[in-house]
Structure 1
Amino acid sequence: MHSHDPLSSILQGSASLLATTDDMHQLSKKLFMNSLNCHASKLMEKVELPPADLGPTAALTQTMALLREILSSYDSSVVPLDARRTDFTEVLSCVVDPLLQMCAMSASQLNPADMATYMVNCLYMMKTTLSLFEFTDQRLEMLSAQVDAHLDTLVNEQASFTLSHVGLAHMYSVVQQHQPREGPLSAVHGLDRNSIKTAMKHFDAFLASPDDLVLPQCKFLLSATLRDVVDKRSMDVIRQVYEQLYEAVTDSANKYEDPNDIMQRTPQQIRQLLS
């Protein structure tokens, strides 16, 4: 696929040989791209199911290794800059787009947390490979946006899992929908003093050992950095939920008796504990 341009200066006096070389180059490039397109088509013919650890499939791993070899071959070539940029664009379009479709099809039957984890792992592998090469900025930006979208899902799943386990998810939902004309929150079923105190005991247990409520899927993330991102952002959501419940309980209009005994930690203390 490499350009014949460096030969031009050598073969200036041999127009027919130069033309033949040009024809050979164009033919070899066409055959190469046809081969890549064929490989990409085969990826879609038999889509693998995600493995149990929600990591990249063998097909993705093998194709990214192939792509890395192709792009690395340019390091020792003398292809002009503009031609290299054009070739990279063609190759990436031929390989990356089908890979993204393959991953999406593979993940289509998964639950939200599994799907988000699997897609993040696939996209992370693709980003890691492309980041080694020039002319990939646009693709990297697109992949990063997709990673962020799936991380949003995983953050919400992690926060929901924790809040449901400690009994705060339903309470938060009721507080969000409650209207003052409906009366004080303390009179609402499930938001009485004893119910909230029970939930706070579970919440205190979580604060003492937050790792006990980490989603199994989060542990499967290939990137330690992304695991930390999910952890921090889900903790931010949990903190915000606690803060709104705290404000509701300490609001005199909701008529909770001794509210500071019900929710004994201030939002500031929770922020420190979850940071």
Structure 2
Amino acid sequence: ATQGVEENIQEVVGHITEGVCRPLKVRIEQVIVAEPGAVLLYKISNLLKFYHHTISGIFGNSATTLLTTIEEMHLLSKKKYFFNSLSLHASKLMDKVELPPPDLGPSSALNQTLMLLREVLASHDSSVVPLDARQADFVQVLSCVLDPLLQMCTVSASNLGTADMATFMVNSLYMMKTTLALFEFTDRRLEMLQFQIEAHLDTLINEQASYVLTRTGLSYIYNTVQQHKPEQGPLANLPNLDSVALKAAMVQFDRYLSAPDNLLMPQLNFLLSATVK
């Protein structure tokens, strides 16, 4: 008898939930097709996943039709519209790449995209979806947004001088890094960004060293000593390497050592990160 009652209940639940399917599907489709933006699409997708998980736990197989409908809407909102929206935004980044601003800070396109990414990740962070599913989503979201962003920055910087390019890239990468640092599942990406920052910092260090050597009159001396071969005879016999020239260069270098800030490349003042400076 009990089994019969349970079967009847399941049948009733099945009929009730079936009746919900069509209006629910129509309403959700209306919202999704209106393309409300990546953030809202992602929230809808997560909410549908949550309800699928919850209803499945309560009603089990009784609500199969409703669960199928919710899953279909989840996939539609996420796979088709959400990731399409992100991909479209990312592809537009390369349509018209901005020149870096005069202060070599992040471009407006970078700032806008990072704001979008922040909003998506914030809704992702508070997501009711299970951890492993969130992590899988996260990897895909980051690939969808960060890779085109990095490409955009590289193209944007391509016509700059060496020091300007390195400064712009460090600033852009730093902004990406500070955005990602707020969220979970970012360790691998943060490491990659840090490696790239360090590579550009190496360039800046080399440029700063050359800048100092040139302005203290040591550049020619340094290069000559580096390339000197014994068969060329004593260094003192070479042009501009006599004791007077060397003393003059060392005096200038001593002045630099006593006030190193006087010979900082202008680009270094544009670095956004106090730590990097």
Q: Same fold per TM (> 0.5)?
A: yes
Partner Cα distance (1:107, 1:11) in 2 = 57
Partner Cα distance (1:155, 1:183) in 2 = 33
Which of 162, 168, 172 is the aligned partner of 1:118? 168
1:258 is aligned to none
Contact 1:160–1:169 under 8 Å retained in 2: yes
- Structure-to-structure mapping, 1:67-146, within 5 angstroms: 67-146=117-196
Contact 1:55–1:222 under 8 Å retained in 2: yes
Partner Cα distance (2:220, 2:53) in 1 = 70
1:26 is aligned to 75
Change (3 A) 1:205 1:116: same
Partner Cα distance (2:250, 2:227) in 1 = 21
Contact 2:125–2:183 under 8 Å retained in 1: no
Which of 65, 71, 74 is the aligned partner of 1:16? 65
Unpaired runs of 5+ in structure 2?
1-44
Letter of the 2:221 counterpart: M
**Offset from partner CA, 1:17-51 (integer Å, 9 cap, x none):** 00000000000002110000011111110111100
Contact 1:50–1:106 under 8 Å retained in 2: yes
**Offset from partner CA, 1:142-168 (integer Å, 9 cap, x none):** 111111110011000001000110011
Which of 258, 261, 266 is the aligned partner of 1:216? 266
Partner Cα distance (1:35, 1:77) in 2 = 19
Partner Cα distance (1:163, 1:148) in 2 = 22
In the TM superposition, residue 179 of structure 1 has moved relative to its aligned partner by: 1.6
Contact 2:121–2:183 under 8 Å retained in 1: yes
Contact 2:125–2:184 under 8 Å retained in 1: no
The aligned length equals: 227
- TM-score for the superposition, normalised by structure 2: 0.80
Secondary structure at the aligned position of 2:275 is classed as: helix
Contact 2:167–2:204 under 8 Å retained in 1: yes
Unpaired runs of 5+ in structure 1?
228-275
2:256 is aligned to 206
The CA RMSD over aligned residues, in Å, is: 1.1
Which of 109, 114, 118 is the aligned partner of 1:64? 114
Secondary structure at the aligned position of 1:45 is classed as: coil
In the TM superposition, residue 184 of structure 1 has moved relative to its aligned partner by: 1.3
Letter of the 1:14 counterpart: A
Partner Cα distance (1:132, 1:55) in 2 = 21
Letter of the 2:210 counterpart: S
- Structure-to-structure mapping, 1:166-177, within 5 angstroms: 166-177=216-227
1:6 is aligned to 53
Letter of the 1:16 counterpart: T
Contact 2:106–2:171 under 8 Å retained in 1: yes
Partner Cα distance (2:190, 2:134) in 1 = 18
Partner Cα distance (1:56, 1:11) in 2 = 51
Q: Which has the larger radius of gyration?
A: 2
Letter of the 2:64 counterpart: A
Contact 1:11–1:18 under 8 Å retained in 2: no
Partner Cα distance (1:215, 1:206) in 2 = 13
Runs of 4+ deviating beyond 6 Å: none
Partner Cα distance (2:59, 2:147) in 1 = 39
Contact 1:119–1:150 under 8 Å retained in 2: yes
Letter of the 1:38 counterpart: L
- Structure-to-structure mapping, 1:229-268, within 5 angstroms: none
Which of 142, 156, 159 is the aligned partner of 2:206? 156
- TM-score for the superposition, normalised by structure 1: 0.80
In the TM superposition, residue 133 of structure 1 has moved relative to its aligned partner by: 1.0
